[in-house]
Amino acid sequence: MGIALILLAAGQGTRMNSDLPKVLHRVAGAPLIVHALAAGASLAPERRIVVAGTGAAEVAAAARAFDEGVEVVIQDRQLGTGHAVAQALPALAGFRGRVVVLYGDTPFIRPETLAALVAHKADVTVLGFRPRDPGRYGRLVTRGAALERIVEWKDATEEERAIDLCNSGVLACDADLLADLVSGLTNDNAALEYYLTDIVAAARARGLAAGVVTCPEDETLGVNSRAELARAEAAFQARARAALLDDGVTLVAPETVFLAFDTVIGRDSTIGPHVVFGPGVTVESGAEILAFSHLEGCHVGAGARVGPFARLRPGTELGEGAHVGNFVEVKNAVLGDGVKANHLTYLGDAEVGAGTNIGAGTITCNYDGVMKHRTVIGRAAFIGSDTMLVAPVRIGDRAMTASGAVITGDVPDGALAIARAAQVNRPGLAVRLMDRLREQKARRVKDAAGQDTAGQVGLRKDEA
Report, as residue numbers or ranges, the catalytic residues.
343
d(CA 322, CA 324): 7
d(CA 31, CA 447): 62
Residues 59, 50: contact at Cβ < 8 Å? yes
Q: Which of 172, 148, 173, 169 is nearest to 160 (CA)?
A: 148
Contacts of 249 (CB under 8 A, 6+ apart): 265, 266, 267, 268, 269, 270, 271
d(CA 138, CA 128): 10
d(CA 71, CA 6): 10
* Amino acid present at 59: V
Return the H-helix or E-strand segment holding 178: helix 175-183
Contacts of 32 (CB under 8 A, 6+ apart): 22, 23, 24, 25, 26, 104, 105, 107, 223, 232
Helix (H, G, I), strand (E, B), or coil: what is residue 400? strand
Task: Give the CA distances from residue 76 to residues 25, 52, 79, in Å, rounded to whole numbers and listed in that order.
Answer: 21, 8, 9
Helix pair 56-66, 32-41: axis angle to 10 deg: 40
Residues 368, 351: contact at Cβ < 8 Å? no
